[in-house]
């Protein structure tokens, strides 16, 4: 039997392994070290690029996936990225031509409707949304749910869910939308969920799974959680602050 004791874990290395935040990076006089400063500038540039970039349906999702899922593109009442950033209210309402196209292309009253919104990070859509969308559609079909035709909304804010709910009357709407990029990652996606969203609904009527990216919530975990919440919504006929996730390893239970 060896008398050698295991090497103690360096507390600094342990802390750094738990977060992408800039902690314990040291300093040079009153300033960051050069390597830290250069990485900060790189991440800031990536965040700015993610906000300004545009989603391209064919480039980002691929022709095969578009054909298989029937993906198509519409936009909100914002007519450009610049207007979208200046006028958040326009990103919450579908353009009139979008309303007509969705009405013509999507089935009414499905159990499960997935929508993709570019939001504030085209990078997050490109890196996270295609695989997660496939997982969600597959999981819904495996449960014999009726699944609406997915589509992309450009210049999208979360409130557009209300217009979609009023237009298509699905039971559950899932909006996959690019999060505001930070200096840890520009690739983070959020999934907003609502039961029968309609005009007048607010964030209190929605649930959220955030930080979907390579160093956060994985696509597989996000898909499982989204589908579980959708199941709960349908059973409870509700979503939002009255409905809580039951996550493995916690004592959290749905509210009565």
129 domain residue, yes or no:
yes
Instruction: Output the pTM of the full model.
Output: 0.84
CATH code for the domain in which residue 191 is found: 3.40.50.11240
Domain that holds residue 206: 52-236
55 is in an annotated binding site: no
179 is in an annotated binding site: yes
DSSP assignment of 113-174: EEEEE-TT-HHHHHHHHHHHHHHHHHHHHHTT--BPPPEEEES--TTHHHHHHHHH--SEEE
Q: Per the structure, how many domains does the chain have?
A: 1
254 domain residue, yes or no:
no
Residue pLDDT tens, the chain, 256 long: 556 666 677 777 777 677 767 777 778 888 878 877 777 777 777 767 667 678 999 999 999 999 999 999 999 999 999 999 999 999 999 999 999 999 999 999 999 999 999 998 899 999 999 999 999 999 999 999 999 999 999 999 999 999 999 999 999 999 999 988 766 677 889 999 999 999 999 999 999 999 999 888 999 999 999 999 999 999 999 999 999 887 765 444 444 3
């Amino acid at each position: 039997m060896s008398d050698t004791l295991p090497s103690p874990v360096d507390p600094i290395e342990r802390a750094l392994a738990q977060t992408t935040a800039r902690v314990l990076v040291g300093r040079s006089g009153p300033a960051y070290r050069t390597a830290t400063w250069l990485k900060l500038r790189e991440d800031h540039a990536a965040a700015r690029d993610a906000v300004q970039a545009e989603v391209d349906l064919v480039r980002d999702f691929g022709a095969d996936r578009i054909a298989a899922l029937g993906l198509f593109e519409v936009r909100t009442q914002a007519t450009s990225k610049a207007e979208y950033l200046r006028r958040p209210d326009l990103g919450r309402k579908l353009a009139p031509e979008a309303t007509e196209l969705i009405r013509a292309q999507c089935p009414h009253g499905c159990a499960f409707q997935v929508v993709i919104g570019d939001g504030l990070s085209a990078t997050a859509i490109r890196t996270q949304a295609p695989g997660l969308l496939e997982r969600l559609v597959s999981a819904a079909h495996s449960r014999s749910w009726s699944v609406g035709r997915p589509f992309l909304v450009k210049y999208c804010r979360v409130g557009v869910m209300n217009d979609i709910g009023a237009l298509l009357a699905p039971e559950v709407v899932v909006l996959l939308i690019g999060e505001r990029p930070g200096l840890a990652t520009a690739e983070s996606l959020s999934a907003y969920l609502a039961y029968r969203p309609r005009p007048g609904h607010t964030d209190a009527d929605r649930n959220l799974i955030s930080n979907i990216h390579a160093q956060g919530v994985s696509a597989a975990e996000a898909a499982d959680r989204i589908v579980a919440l959708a199941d709960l919504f349908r059973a409870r006929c509700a979503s939002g602050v009255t409905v809580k996730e039951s996550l493995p390893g916690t004592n959290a239970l749905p509210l009565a």
